[in-house]
Amino acid sequence: MAMDFNMLMNDTVKQARTDMDESGYEQLLSPEQVEEAFKRSGTTLVMINSVCGCAGGIARPAAKHSVHYDKRPDHLVTVFAGQDKEATAQARMLFGEDHLPSSPSFAMMKDGKLVAEIGRYEIEGHDPMSVVRNLQSQFDDFCEEL
Q: Active-site residue numbers? A: 52, 54
Beta bridge partners of 80: 49
The answer to whether the peptide bond before residue 61 is cis (omega within 30 degrees of 0) is no
Q: Is residue 130 helix, strand or coil?
A: helix
DSSP for 56-97?
Answer: IIIIHHHHHHHTSSSB--SEEEEEETTTSHHHHHHHHHHH-T
